[in-house]
Amino acid sequence: MALRNIVTLPNPVLKRKAHAVTQFDKALRTLINDMVETMREAPGVGLAAPQIGLLERIAVIEYFEKPEDEENEDAPKKVWAVINPEIVKVSEETLMGVEGCLSIPGLLGEVERHAEVHIKALNRHGQPMKIRAKGWLARIFQHEIDHLNGIMFTERATRVWQPTQEVDAEQEV
Ligand code: NI
């Protein structure tokens, strides 16, 4: 496995729409492993392929599967690798939350997201998978899928600011 470089704004690759993945081969699985390693190293809870300069519809996420686990320090986190993900259903309910992004260091923003999303995607072997995500996990999926469409959280934020202290920093995606 190898770490990949995370690209930041104003790199134009971040503003472009990524292409669907059609080849499910060893190179794809190596790329996914590299993305997971790069996300952990950053550290972050999500990473989309455009953030390492690749216009491919791939994202990795590592987070608690259930919202109630966020309160439990010992709860295990789960890793998702989603290929060609699509949001197929969203809740009417939305939540405000503070987001950061590994590709926009030093900036936070308040973003309204759907409280729950249903996602259809392919796994690393090209097999279909369905995911129901709530709360912060739903937020991460929406943030990462935005990356695949060239949308940065700052475009959706109702306000953005530069945190004055490290202590302000939220989980980066
Ligand atoms: Ni991001």
The pLDDT tens digits for 14-53 are 999 999 999 999 999 999 999 999 999 999 999 999 999 9
More confident residue, 121 or 168: 121
> How many whole angstroms from 76 Cα to the centroid of ligand 1?
23
- 46-48 sheet: strands from edge to edge: 46-48, 58-63, 78-90, 116-122, 128-134
> How many whole angstroms from 152 Cα to the centroid of ligand 1?
7
Active site residue 144: yes
Banded pLDDT at 165 (limits 50, 70, 90): low
Instruction: Report the alpha-carbon distance of residue 104 to residue 16 in Å, rounded.
Output: 16
CATH topology of domain 12-169: Peptide Deformylase (3.90.45)
Q: Which residues place a Cβ less than 5 A from the ion ligand 1?
A: 101, 173
Catalytic member of 56, 99, 116, 144: 144
Q: What pLDDT does 73 receive?
A: 81
Count Cα neighbours of 37 within 13 Å in the Cβ-side half-sphere. Answer: 11
> How many whole angstroms from 162 Cα to the centroid of ligand 1?
16
